[in-house]
Amino acid sequence: MIQVRELSKLYGKKQVVENVNVDIRRGQITSFIGPNGAGKSTLLSMVSRLLDADTGEVLIDSTNTKKMKSNELAKRVSILKQSNFMNVRLTIRELVSFGRFPYSKGRLNDEDEKMVDQAIEYMDLKEMEHSYLDELSGGQRQRAFIAMVIAQDTDYVLLDEPLNNLDMKHSVQIMKILRRLVDELGKTVIIVLHDINFASVYSDRIVALKNGRVVKDGPTEEIIQSSALKEIYDMDIPIQMMDNCRICVYFNS
Amino acid sequence: MKKRYLIPALLILSVISLFVGVSSISPLDLLDFQSEETQIFLISRLPRLVAILLAGAGMSMAGLIMQQLSRNKFVSPTTAGTLDATRLGILVSMLLFANASMIEKMAVAFLFALAGTFLFMQILNRIKFKDAIFIPLVGLMFGNILSSITTFFAYRADVIQNMSAWLQGDFSMVMKGSYELLYISVPVFIIAYLYANRFTVAGMGEDFSKNLGLKYRSIVNIGLVLVALITATVVLTVGIIPFLGLIIPNIVSIFKGDHLQKTLPHTAMLGAIFLLLCDILGRVLIYPYEISISLMVGVIGSFIFLFLLFRRKAYA
């Protein structure tokens, strides 16, 4: 379990994240949602130690992350940021191999190679493993990065808006993969999402932020309610049930 | 771009380099250890070859490390002010210590190279407009500012003549006793190779490095120290060799990608081959005179650089 305690972050005088307390359960997908500037990405960055919190602490399985060595932490928690254009020419296999870096420091042993193979096959990238990242489509590249995280073999996988710039087909593909990571490999996934319908259909729990504070925190079906969404987004959003999925019809509200 | 082509090319060019020159030396002459030919061979030809190989490999590797750490293919000791900072350092050492020894000059030049490169990286972090071609322009401007400071003080102190020796790279002056400082780059190469994986990770950004448990800042700093060490030794012993650190890593990257552990040896070899080729051409073209290496590399290099720029445009 990841426990976030009284976490705050100031940018200049602006309180971006304010006294946030959240528990993130193991073996589930937890989505962070909320309007722009709510502090979702900042919170995720602090949980994953990319960003230092001004106050508060993050406990991972009861250990304060500040007390953990960065290399040890890299074996427990991985984070993928919005994958901006990378100028580095690496093949998929080379990238995925770097997922083993916390274990092998670049000198891969047989077990590392096996993990890399498994990750590549799990992501269905075997036939293009020697292609360069800059020759791939957005969806393929995102899959390559997820394969790297699988090779990194952390219990907790954090993703910051992984669906950005992806079309519908690839977005669904990525979300299904994340669901499989949780259901088949027992990972814990924490994800910042913009599209509340993806959050609704794929996550177990939802944490809603607004102006740096947690306004809602609970199981998906409790959060995807017109009354709760009104509080989060200041919009009247009707909910429709379709094939057992709660779909938010926000397009003309 | 395979090792099995690069190694023979390097060996053949090395042999040619040893036996091209004003005084003709044949391999048979070397059998007589006392002959004048053997002396020339040992005092001039061999040191020259070693200097070319080390300088070529070193400047290319320095360029590769800089490109990786700055995440910009157009950054190199030439386009980031490193060379100009080194020259300023040499001037300062000449002005401060009248009879500076090689090691003292080396230390001051190294510190200036390090400070200059570091400053450039700081500027890079602060620039909002991160166009790939804009960055090296900033670097060139930064280098020119340093260079004009150097010229100003050199002029005031009447050491322009002295300074110009370091303005242009020149291997014809390399002789036994004057180039040994270059051997410093050998351990630097080894350290660079040991850190290759870390540099590759750092090249993918701070967040990416932290995710893998890597201390990004210290890796970047180590990289800059290595670059400054290589640059300072090369500039002090053979002078400025422009463009090498820019072109060679780019060519290797096109064919072999950016996995430094795999591309560092190729980059080093191709750099040495390119420099050897330029040097041999420079020695042969107006025989028995010599075209200086920085002119040769500058002319051939700028054509390749232009080609890379246009090629990039065609893709964008």
Query: Among B88, B157, B156, which Cα is nearest to B117's?
Result: B88
| Structure confidence at residue A83 (pLDDT) | 59
Closest Cβ opposite residue B259 in set A70, A87, A90: A90
Q: Where are the beta strands (DSSP E) in A69-187?
A: 77-80, 156-160
Domains plus CATH for chain A?
2-248 (3.40.50.300)
Starting at the edge strand that comes first in sequence, how are the strands of the sheet with A205-210 ordered?
A: A77-80, A156-160, A188-192, A29-33, A205-210, A213-219
Q: Higher pLDDT residue, A102 or B287? A: A102
For residue A172, give the 3-state DSSP assignment. helix
What is the C-alpha to C-alpha distance for residues B180 and B166, in angstroms, rounded to an integer?
A: 17
Q: Higher pLDDT residue, B206 or B305? A: B206
| Structure confidence at residue B96 (pLDDT) | 85
A90 with B200: Cβ contact below 8 A? yes
Query: Among B316, B307, B314, B169, which Cα is nearest to B247's?
Result: B307
Q: Dump pLDDT digits (tens) for B125-156.
A: 888 666 777 888 899 999 999 999 999 999 89
ipTM: 0.88
Q: Which residue has the tokens 């073999």?
A: A153
Q: Flag the least confident range among B25-39, B57-71, B175-189.
A: B25-39
- The amino acid sitting at A63 is T
Q: Which of B108-122, B232-246, B280-294 has the highest mean pLDDT?
A: B108-122
What is the C-alpha to C-alpha distance for residues B256 and B1, in angstroms, rounded to an integer?
A: 8
Residues 6+ apart with CB under 8 A from B156: none
| Structure confidence at residue A85 (pLDDT) | 55
B261 with A73: Cβ contact below 8 A? no
A74 with B261: Cβ contact below 8 A? no
Instruction: Band the pLDDT of A195: cuts 50, 70, 90.
Output: very high
A73 with B213: Cβ contact below 8 A? yes
For residue B161, give the 3-state DSSP assignment. helix
- The mean pLDDT value of chain B amounts to 88
For residue B209, the chain A residues in CB contact (below 8 A) are: none
| Structure confidence at residue B25 (pLDDT) | 81
What is the C-alpha to C-alpha distance for residues A113 and A249, in angstroms, rounded to an integer?
A: 46
A71 with B213: Cβ contact below 8 A? yes
Query: Among B226, B258, B229, B240, which Cα is nearest to B295's?
Result: B240
CB proximity A52 to B under 8 Å: no
| Structure confidence at residue B316 (pLDDT) | 40
What is the C-alpha to C-alpha distance for residues A180 and A214, in angstroms, rounded to an integer?
A: 28
Query: Among B273, B295, B305, which Cα is nearest to B76's?
Result: B305
- State the Rg of chain A over Cα: 18
A79 with B211: Cβ contact below 8 A? yes
Instruction: Please tell me the pTM assigned to this model.
Output: 0.89
Distance from CA of B208 to the nearest CA of A (A): 8
Query: Beta strands A77-80 and A156-160: pairing type?
Result: parallel
* Enclosing H/E stretch for B51: helix B46-70
Chain B, nearest residue to A132 by Cα: B257
Distance from CA of B259 to the nearest CA of A (A): 6
B212 with A102: Cβ contact below 8 A? yes
Closest Cβ opposite residue B203 in set A88, A99, A106: A88
* Enclosing H/E stretch for A201: helix A196-202
Q: In the A/B pair of chains, how many CB contacts fall below 8 A?
A: 67
For residue A74, the chain B residues in CB contact (below 8 A) are: 211-213
What is the C-alpha to C-alpha distance for residues A230 and A238, in angstroms, rounded to an integer?
A: 10
Instruction: Band the pLDDT of B305: cuts 50, 70, 90.
Output: confident
What is the C-alpha to C-alpha distance for residues A199 and A202, in angstroms, rounded to an integer?
A: 6
Q: Dump pLDDT digits (tens) for A35-87.
A: 998 999 999 999 998 999 999 999 999 999 999 999 999 999 999 987 555 67
Q: Dump pLDDT digits (tens) for A180-190.
A: 999 999 999 99
